[in-house]
Amino acid sequence: MYNNQQISNNNNTNNNYNNVYNKVFKNQYLIRKILRLVQLNCYKEQLESFRYRELDSLDWVLKHGHEGLLKMIFDRGEFEQMFESGGGDLIKLFFTKVKDRQLLLSIYNQYPLYFCSDRTIEYACQRGDLEIVKMVVEQIQPNMPINETCFESATQSNSLPLAKYMCQVLPATLRSSVPPITIRTSNHQMIHYVLELGDLQDHLISLDPLLEDRVLFDWVVANHQNKCVWAYKESKVIEKIVKELQLAVSDIRNELECKQYLVSSKIPFQSIYNATLEIDNRKIKRPTTSFKEVDLVLLSIGLLLEDPIYYAIKILMSWGHSESATTSLLQYYIKTDHPFLPNFLAQYPNNDPLITINASQFDLIYHQMRNENLDFIVSDAETFKYIFDHSYFNSTFSQRLKEQCYSRLLSDAINKCNFGLVQCITERVKTQLEFTFHLGENGASVQDHIDMANILAKNGFYAKEFSIVAMKSMSHPIEHVTDYVLQCQSRMQADKAGHLFFYANEDYLLRTWLAKGNVIDLDLILDNQELANHIVKYKQETLKSMISPGGEIHLQFRDKISFTFKSLLDTIREACLYRDMDLFKWLLNTIRQLGIVDTNFHIAETVSTCGGVENIKVVMNQFKIDKQQLANMQREACLEGSKLNLEYLIEHTELDAKGIARITPTKQSNYLLNYSSTSKNHGDKQEYRVVKTAVREGYFVVVSYLSSIGRLFSNQQCTKTFLAESAYSQTMKVYINSLPT
């Protein structure tokens, strides 16, 4: 009996689920909405993710916290190459973003020289990990400077043991000579500790982190008023308030949602305002506009205590952020259709943020108030008709200003898939407008693109620009859409039209464009760094088909495709950056097939600066690299800070009897930084230049390597004194002086 009842219940449950599914999937609105969101999520995932070989440096890995990927890079022995191709923030990102303590220690202990800088200890302190900081501070070679900003960072980390340690190791000379440090923390114990330090008693306490904690704020100002400061122009709290208001009044929220967002905000606006009153009362800092003046202004424009935006606006207006305040307030008044909007406009007639208005608000803002700025958006056809037919609008504004206004409204309506408004604008406006075709960001469906293209083409409106997002979101051919895109592109400049084809998912547009007799200039296209990057990541097969002598597109449209060696070299550079050896080898093979000569120098230089050891091996095996070219490759590697490439070019190359470089498994000492086929003097000058640059740029790994092979001070001009004086960083100066001559 129990089993039968259970089976019956299960059947009922399944039937209920089936009914729900049927109702959802038979509802055209719901299924269209679901499919649009799925399409949008898939597209966003594609944009925000990379395949492994598409990572050209560690920046993205560290910023997004992909520690598993970082460990894989470390385990595969690719850390050095990827670090060398990274930017200047890698050291900071390493200490502040890597949460896996053991992984951080493993990498640091194996590659300590990559983390040397004047600010390394400061960055380590921002992490708040005492043991990590001790490890960096106690590093002997090279010894990195400890300064007042290190102690300041330690206090901001909220780690009291770390702050105490940094105070102990802070050089005694700094305690009495440095200007006051402003301590920025909301940790009560930390503040108490800093205030009790006898030899650091002149240091100050920033009130900014305390504004949201009234208990701690009141204690600090009551007991240590003379140490309190507030730099309202750099206030993080005010910055948060500005951003919060922008989110509240944004177009995605209606009147009720706007007010509810402000009411539910985690920022205690009233408490912060009262804290700023105390700052003024205690004469710690005076507001830019007195509180009484602000009260009078708000009274005149009808902003009341009942308005959830009230205290936020008072804070901004009192403390030098009136422009942000009035911008947000105008948007709030319009969104809530506030009865005191006329009063506000009378007080601030020239405030002109991009706002969405209705017909009555247009009358008020532009007709009665005579506002000459046309920075507004409309959301419905009736409002546009009203404005379009308005005598004041037509008699006051020039044709140029009106067309600019129409163009902005049309682009916005297309982006929001507002078909009724697009239909209205294109039927009423008789002149061609410069607008952007962009539907992809909002997850537009294929049918949305078809409907939009039909409306625009029917009324003779052709986009001057297609967003990259729109091009990526369409798979051609699409009925009506493909023809519309091609018609638009035929009206564009050749360089703009050509760029767009490579962002499309398929080659259909490109082939159709070429079949119509148009020309594609690959030199122009690949000169665009962003586009070249995209092609190497996602459109390799298309590029190969266009360039390769046996490629399908090349065979069919050979006379319509223009490119020179420059195109190939630009692509080689991208292939090196993304460590794509298959593409790299294919490009070198294609250069040979095309019979392009005299390329050795350019290719060798490119792989020395952008590639890795594997790229160098291929070039050395396929091209005749003479002694001068090999010397140039070594210098380029040194100037780029690539110790891996420099070491390989010195220790794993040799010259044959004809003076041609070749790879050798036997360790060599083929040092050519000082070589020049012109003269010994010229070679010495080149060596001096690259060594000095390595020192100035802070390439510790390169400097260390040159020292280890006895070449750092071998040039007569590169004395220890000279190089130490040439160094920009204190750490490098100390390091140079510690090295043996």
Residues 265-294: tens digit of each pLDDT: 999 999 999 999 999 999 999 999 999 999
Nearest to 603 by CA among 571, 580, 558: 571
Closest CA to 369 of 400, 342, 394: 342
pLDDT at position 39: 53
Find which of 5-19, 240-254, 701-715 is predicted with most confidence, using mean pLDDT: 701-715
β-bridge partners, 377: 356
pLDDT for position 174: 64
pLDDT at 597 over 90: no
Task: Measure Cα distances from 593 to 95, 565, 585 in Å.
Answer: 48, 12, 12
Helices (H), 250-398: 255-263, 269-281, 291-300, 310-318, 322-335, 341-347, 359-362, 381-389, 391-396
Q: Which amino acid, residue 405?
A: C
Tell me the C-alpha to C-alpha distance, in Å, between residue 581 and each of 499, 536, 615, 617, 671. 25, 12, 7, 11, 27
Phi, psi of 663 (to 5 degrees): -85, 140
- Rounded to an integer, the average pLDDT of 292-302 is 94
Confirm whether pTM is higher than 0.85: no
What is the spatial distance between Cα 631 and Cα 604, in angstroms, rounded to a whole number?
11
Phi-psi region of 380 (alpha: psi -120 to 50; beta: other; left: phi over 0): beta
- The yes-or-no verdict on residue 183 having pLDDT over 70 is yes
CA-based nearest residue to 711, from 605, 621, 635: 635
Q: Indicate the pLDDT class of residue 2, thresholds 50, 70 and 90.
A: very low
Determine phi and psi for 355, rounding to 5 degrees.
Answer: -125, 155
What's the full length of the chain, in residues? 741
Q: Could you give the dihedral angle defined by the CA atoms of residues 700, 705, 709 and 710, in that order, rounded to the nearest 10 degrees?
A: -10
β-bridge partners, 406: none
Q: How many CB atoms lie within 10 A of CB 243?
A: 12
pLDDT, residue 394, reads 82
- Between 36 and 271, the more confident residue is 271
Tally of CB atoms within 10 A around 255 = 13
Q: Which residue has the higher pLDDT, 372 or 73?
A: 73
- Model confidence at 47, in pLDDT bands (50, 70, 90)? very low
Tell me which residue has tokens 């952020």: 321
579 membership: H or E segment, kind and range? none
Residue 318: predicted pLDDT: 97
Residues 6+ apart with CB under 8 A from 679: none
pLDDT value for 442: 58
Angstrom distances, CA of residue 332 to CA of 115, 297, 303, 340, 412: 49, 16, 11, 11, 20
Rg (CA), the chain: 33
465: alpha, beta or left, given left = phi > 0 and alpha = psi -120 to 50? beta
394 or 304: which leads in pLDDT: 304
Asked whether the bond before 142 is cis by omega within 30 degrees of 0, the reply is yes
Do the bridges between strand 661-663 and strand 653-655 make them parallel or antiparallel, or are there none, so unpaired? antiparallel
Of 662, 658, 736, 669, which Cα lies nearest the Cα of 696? 736
* 207 or 167, greater pLDDT: 207
Pair of tokens at residue 177: 């000579």
For residue 174, count other CB atoms closer than 10 A to its CB.
15
What SS3 class is residue 182? strand
**Residue 490's pLDDT is what?**
86
If pLDDT is split at 50, 70 and 90, which confidence band does 198 have?
low
What is the SS3 assignment for 200?
Answer: coil
Per the model's pLDDT, the better-predicted residue between 17 and 319 turns out to be 319
Mean pLDDT of the chain: 87
Cis peptide leading into residue 268 (ω within 30°): no
Distance from first CA to last CA of the chain, Å, rounded? 94
Instruction: Return the number of other C-beta atoms located less than 10 Å from residue 305's C-beta.
Output: 9
Question: What pLDDT, in 10s, does the model give residues 498-549?
Answer: 788 888 878 898 999 999 888 899 998 998 888 898 898 889 999 999 999 9
User: Of 532, 615, 611, nearest to 566 (Cα)?
Assistant: 532
CA distance 60 to 49: 10
Residue 607's nearest CA partner among 624, 584, 639, 586 is 584
d(Cα 281, Cα 228) in Å, to the nearest integer?
Answer: 13
pLDDT of 740 over the 80 cut:
yes
Residues whose CB falls within 8 Å of the CB of residue 433, separated by 6 or more in sequence, listed in order:
403, 406, 407, 410, 461
- pLDDT, tens digit (0-9, with 9 covering 90-100), for 327-377: 899 889 988 888 888 888 778 766 656 678 888 888 777 765 555 666 788
Q: Pick the closest to residue 146 from 123, 164, 121 (CA basis).
A: 121
- Determine how β-strand 561-562 pairs with β-strand 520-521: parallel
What percent of the chain is modeled with pLDDT above 90? 57
CA-to-CA distance for 631 and 653, rounded, in angstroms? Answer: 11
Task: Give the separation between CA 625 and CA 605, rounded to whole angstroms.
Answer: 11
Count the alpha carbons within 13 Å of 134 in the hemisphere toward its beta carbon: 8
Q: Encoding tokens for residue 190?
A: 């930390």
Mention every residue, 6+ apart, whose C-beta is less than 8 A from residue 98.
62, 67, 70, 104
The whole-number average pLDDT for the span 644-672 is 95
In angstroms, the CA 316 to CA 304 distance is 16
DSSP type of residue 177: H
pLDDT in the model for residue 43: 46
Cross-strand bridge partners of residue 520: 561
Give the tens place of pLDDT for each residue, 418-453.
999 999 999 999 888 888 888 865 567 888 889 999
CA distance 190 to 184: 10
Give the list of residues 6+ apart from residue 230 with CB closer than 8 angstroms, or none: 206, 207, 208, 279, 284, 285
